[in-house]
Structure 1
């Protein structure tokens, strides 16, 4: 009797499906739209609770400001990552939780108007920094969670735009505002989310998303017929709203 060893192939690191020109355009536009949203908030709106546990609008904006500042310069990236790593090891907590908490804490003394002004100033710098990232840097890898390895290009070109985009959804929801949506920006972001979601679950489906960021997608024969508002679809995939069936397959934002 002979034993045959079997191995399970590890999936390759996740890469961005967006070309760099498109990714750079989306990044610059999203930083500007987020800045425009913050600039238009009233005093009471900054205190509105969001779907993000423990965070009001001001805290969400402070996190996004800290993230943009981290991306804008290498020294700030090193500083924030080092502080978050130390806190994570000391407390036995997740790195990303410590990083976002740090970003909120370090801007605790800023009121809404100051956060809005700072974000408007740093957003274009963050966009330029991301556009300058080298091919070597983009090929480097990081572990998001066990079994899910990202290239830095995926982080730079995809996640760092999805994050403020979905937080823009959070803020407009919290304030009862209408989110600015266009097919050439938000529609492209949603299309990318749908593509990743479909690749992650790998099953047949027919999907219709409504609204300015929506569209129709289909894969294979059979499968469920799904229809949602485009933003509601993304809320569900992010864990912000209840999900069942294929929508239990989450996509990182």
Structure 2
């Protein structure tokens, strides 16, 4: 069965809408607000947008701009929040764009995303399904674009949280982004949460993306429609908190009153405290 969140025309439309949502969030910022610290270590709101520009520019075959000779030459590998080569790539783009004004950065964001819209519009189904390198390993180009939607959606939330504003966290864009997020959760439950074989873990997700996610841990962890026996633990939390924990933007210890456990609370707490996999 074809995954509707990977359908070419719909996904490209949602990605385009996601870029518009980011642009709208920062459209009226003054230079001080542009430099507001974000939930991502070492990055401001400006830097988050610069990161999106960098990735979309790379997908257009472009390289980072030259180092501004008036700026200090920073070895990005020495920065504490740079932990792997993908982070090195991201940080170089951010560092090179950082001397720009917020106004110019927003103009650049509009220019780059418009060129990406045109490039995506030229894709046919064959190109969409072709295998390509991606941050999650070799996959179809369409799946890579769902990863891009998830990344950009998370960055919309980062910007909103930094600025103290609320955005709609539901709807088609969020559904597609959450599908990408949720695909990693069974692996996280076992690898990071150390759920033992035989465990039955339910995430009772409330809020804009409400649903029940049932994970059976056997030889490997996988989603199942329902359990034959009661869940070992049910973890009840809001969808916004769920994705922020998975994204390493916050910790379960900071939200103890917002997460409920039914059943094996020790297992549930261990899983909730070890959900971060995208930082």
TM tier, smaller: 0.7 to 0.9
Aligned to 1:35: 23
Residue 129 (str. 1) matches residue 138 (str. 2): no
Confirm or deny: 8 A CA contact 1:49 1:174 kept in the other structure.
yes
Matched, 1:101 2:91: yes
Hey, what's the Cα distance between the residues in 2 that align with 1:198 and 1:17? 19
Q: State whether structure 2 residue 131 is matched by structure 1 residue 140.
A: yes
Q: Is the 8 A contact 1:16 1:154 kept in 2?
A: no
User: Separation in 2 of the partners of 1:228 and 1:186?
Assistant: 17
Q: CA shift at 1:38, angstroms?
A: 1.7
Given that 1:20 and 1:157 are in contact with CA atoms closer than 8 Å, whether structure 2 keeps it comes out as: no
SS at match of 1:50: coil
Inter-CA distance 45–155: structure 2 relative to 1 (3 Å threshold): farther
Partner of residue 270 from structure 2, selected from 229, 245, 251: 245
1:8 maps to none
The CA deviation at 1:176 is: 0.7
Aligned partner of residue 54 in structure 1, secondary structure = coil
8 Å CA contact 2:127–2:141 kept in 1: the answer is no
- The equivalent of 1:235 in structure 2 is 244
- 1:114 and 1:44 mapped to 2: Cα distance? 14
Distance 1:107 1:20 in 2: 31
Q: Alpha-carbon deviation of 1:16?
A: 10
Q: Kindly tell me: are residues 50 and 192 of structure 1, through their superposed partners in 2, closer, same or farther at Cα, counting changes over 3 Å? A: same
Q: Which has the higher contact order (CA 8 A, sep 6+)?
A: 1
The superposition leaves residues 63-112 of structure 1 with CA deviations (integer Å, 9 ceiling, x where unpaired) of 122222222x23x1xx35xx9xxx999xxx73212211111122122111
Query: Does residue 207 of the first structure (1) align with residue 223 of the second (2)?
Result: no
One of 135, 139, 144 as aligned partner of 1:151: 139
Query: How many angstroms does 1:136 deviate by?
Result: 5.5
Q: Where do residues 1-253 of structure 1 align in structure 2 (5 Å cutoff)?
A: 18-71=6-59, 73-74=60-61, 76=62, 79-80=63-64, 94-133=84-123, 135=126, 138-142=129-133, 144=135, 149-153=137-141, 156-198=144-186, 201=189, 204-212=200-208, 214-219=209-214, 220-221=226-227, 222-243=231-252, 244-247=269-272, 248-252=274-278
* Of 243-252 and 113-122, the range deviating more from structure 2: 243-252
Unaligned segments of structure 2, at least 5 residues: 68-74, 78-82, 191-198, 215-225, 253-268
Residues paired across the two proteins, number: 225
Shift of 1:54: 1.2
1:14-42 Cα deviation digits (max 9, x unpaired): x9962223321221111111111121324
TM-score by length of 2: 0.67
Label 1:242 to 1:24 Cα distance change in 2 as closer, same or farther (>3 A): same
Give the structure-1-normalised TM-score.
Answer: 0.73
1:27–1:207: structure 2 CA closer, same or farther, 3 Å change rule? same
Cα distance, 1:208–1:125 mapped onto 2, change above 3 Å? farther
Coordinate RMSD, CA, aligned = 3.4
